[in-house]
């Protein structure tokens, strides 16, 4: 429950990147030695992935709340249960790493947020595995991949899919010879995963560019690695400062990763000050309307699209947000409209009118980032907003109630997360 009309101010420290963590934890299964992963976010997806790798035979030990030791030297299994796969989308990363290490993997269809992207969902992954010499199959329940031997290949992705880039990269680490991935995704967590694998002894070059080159190795050893800060958590608090007419400094961040959002907030008349590892956001009032189009990094991230749309509902004039990555990313719009927003969906675009007044109501978080958008709306809505199904938020935002509360939000849990 949130009581709105509170101005946020103060400092908030950002946790490790969810999207990097959920790739790096599976990647640790490629190592014959012990891996220590630091700066992991305190979120449900990390806990669920720990359960997944433990079910395969890995030994996981927490050094503290953010540091995990993984010993995968004795794993023998190559499949996880439907129950484990159903709670997180990132379980598909087990396909690439298990294919590389064992030559086979069987992973139930992943769950997580309902952001179905149609035929693109796993095709890019499977085509990449097939190019390396694997056979693949997919039915309603399970994805299967198998190869007697993986051989390096030239792979061109039809679209720069983050998941496919990382999955193919993990499998190609053990392929014989050289592999090239063209039109690769350039997101920071792609780079972070490549850096982690290189720390273990992989030979990956070009991560963060259009072309990634991997020279196969026989095995990987252990190592210690620190996960980058989360750009989506960072962006959510930046937008929270703007929507509440606040003054918030996010700390422990990489400002370069936030360039697309920083430029958009400045365009809307927010004042931004960047430090070496911090960003201070002070809102301008009234905020100006804007036009946003999501795209692959370094473009505007789809995972901040619901949040920026919510902000634009409070800006002067008419704005438009176009989504190019996911098919079902506007499911939250009707929930925002319950709060008094004026959002009209036309094709792949959301048209907003900032002349509306948001008023508290009971709403439902349809997915992780939609839940964040509803929290932002509740912060400025008149009266009380009650958000159900906040288990989605726990999957991707660490201690969000405590962090928002420390900035001055009137926010509390009134029941168990769904």
Give me the active site residues, please: 113
CA distances (Å), 330 to each of 26, 78, 308, 313, 336, in order? 30, 36, 12, 14, 10
Compute the 3-state secondary structure of the chain and give helix, strand, coil in percent, each to the nearest 5: 35, 25, 40
Q: Name the nearest CA neighbour of 395 among 15, 24, 18.
A: 18
Contact (Cβ atoms closer than 8 angstroms) between residue 227 and residue 336? no
Q: Which helix (H) or strand (E) holds 59?
A: strand 59-64
Q: Name the nearest CA neighbour of 252 among 45, 398, 150, 100.
A: 398
DSSP annotation string for 12-48: EE--B-HHHHHHHHHHGGGBSSEEEEES---SHHHHH
Taking phi over 0 as left and psi of -120 to 50 as alpha, with beta for the rest, 181 belongs to beta
Distance CA 260, CA 298 (A): 7
Question: Which residues are CB-neighbours of 139 under 8 A, at least 6 positions away?
Answer: none
Q: Name the nearest CA neighbour of 262 among 272, 253, 251.
A: 272
Distance CA 282, CA 98 (A): 46
């Amino acid at each position: 429950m949130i009581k709105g009309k509170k101005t946020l101010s103060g400092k908030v420290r950002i946790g490790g990147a969810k999207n990097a963590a959920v790739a790096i934890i599976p990647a640790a299964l490629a190592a014959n030695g012990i891996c220590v992963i630091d700066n992991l976010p305190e979120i449900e997806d990390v806990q669920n992935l720990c359960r997944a790798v433990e079910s395969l035979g890995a030994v996981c030990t927490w050094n503290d709340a953010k540091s995990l030791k993984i010993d995968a030297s004795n794993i023998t299994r190559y499949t996880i249960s439907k129950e484990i796969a159903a709670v997180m989308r990132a379980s598909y990363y087990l396909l690439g790493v298990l294919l590389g290490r064992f030559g086979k993997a069987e992973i139930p269809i992943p769950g997580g947020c309902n952001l179905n992207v149609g035929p693109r969902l796993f095709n890019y992954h499977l085509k990449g595995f097939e190019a390396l010499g694997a056979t693949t199959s997919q039915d309603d329940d399970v994805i299967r991949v198998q190869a007697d031997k993986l051989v390096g290949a030239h792979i061109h992705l039809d679209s720069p899919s983050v998941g496919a880039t990382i999955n193919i990269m993990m499998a190609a680490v053990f392929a014989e010879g050289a592999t090239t991935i063209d039109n690769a995704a350039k997101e920071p967590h792609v780079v972070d995963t490549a850096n982690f694998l290189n720390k273990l002894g992989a030979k990956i070059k070009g991560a963060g560019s259009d072309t990634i080159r991997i020279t196969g190795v026989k095995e990987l050893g252990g190592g210690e690695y620190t996960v980058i800060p989360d750009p989506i958590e960072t962006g959510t608090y930046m937008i929270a400062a703007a929507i509440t007419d606040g003054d918030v400094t996010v700390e422990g961040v990489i400002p370069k990763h936030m360039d697309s959002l920083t430029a958009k907030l400045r365009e809307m008349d927010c004042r931004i000050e960047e430090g070496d590892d911090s960003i201070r956001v002070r809102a301008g009032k009234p905020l100006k309307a804007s036009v946003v189009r999501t795209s692959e990094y370094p473009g505007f991230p789809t995972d901040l699209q619901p949040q920026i749309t919510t902000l634009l509902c409070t800006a002067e004039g008419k704005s438009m947000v176009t989504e190019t990555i996911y098919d079902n990313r506007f499911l939250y719009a009707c929930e925002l409209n319950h709060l008094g927003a004026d959002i009209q969906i036309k094709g792949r675009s959301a048209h907003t009118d900032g002349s509306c007044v948001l008023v508290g109501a009971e709403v439902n978080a349809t997915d992780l980032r939609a839940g964040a958008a509803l929290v932002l709306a509740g912060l400025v809505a008149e009266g009380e907003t009650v958000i159900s199904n906040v288990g989605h938020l726990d999957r991707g935002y660490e201690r969000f109630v405590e962090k928002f509360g420390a900035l001055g939000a009137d926010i509390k849990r009134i029941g168990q997360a769904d």
